[in-house]
Amino acid sequence: MTSVDLNRPADLVGAAESRSLEVEAATTPDAVPRHVAIVMDGNRRWAKLHGMSEAEGHSAGVDAIRPIVEHAADRGIEALSIFAFSRENWSRSDDEVETLFALLEAAIRRETPDLVRQGVRVQILGRLHELPETTRASIADAIGATAGGRRLTLNVAFNYSGRSEIVDAVQRAIALSREKYCSVWHSMRQDIDFVVTFESRD
């Protein structure tokens, strides 16, 4: 598994163009990673370094994703996973949490038609029942609209955490006995081959 640490969220766009997810030099289809994961971190630090608001930092992070999705689909990558909002993020200010939800809903409404056109299937992973009703409705609409996508699976991890995964997995195992259960990782279907982390440094 390859890992890339990017200094600024907006730099992901430039990195994708210059490095092409480190697969432009590949000479055979087997060299293209099947599953790429992006950890969206450092948006607030990036905004602070550039004299911007936290909301502008988060917005820049969201905007950086669009060309990555397009490039992943064009390169034949099977799955792209975006870790966007962990359960620990609930500890942030109410204004910031509301901004994050607003950005998610706006991005879903804005991007869904284009995702359908590109053949991208959306999966939202995490404790969705804890999200606001309007957010859940937008998510359900996007999942339904993109269900026929076959070129790329876009996993968006929202309201996730490692601890919750363990608790939920144990509860499912007890409830379902020997039946199979799905965690965030199992829902992704493929092992992660390539990880990109948004990381801001002073």
Which amino acids are annotated catalytic? 41, 89
Structure tokens at 146: 């993109």
Q: Are 86 and 40 in contact (CB under 8 A)?
A: no
User: Is 82 in contact with 65 (CB distance < 8 Å)?
Assistant: yes
Asked if residues 2 and 36 have their Cβ atoms less than 8 Å apart, the reply is no
**Burial code of 129-154, b = ≥16 C-beta within 10 A, e = fewer?**
eebeeebeebbeebeebbeebeebbb
Size of the chain, expressed as the number of residues it contains = 202
How far, rounded to the nearest angstrom, does the alpha carbon of residue 122 sit from its chain's CA centroid?
Answer: 10
Q: Are 84 and 104 in contact (CB under 8 A)?
A: yes
Task: Report the alpha-carbon distance of residue 153 to residue 185 in Å, rounded.
Answer: 14
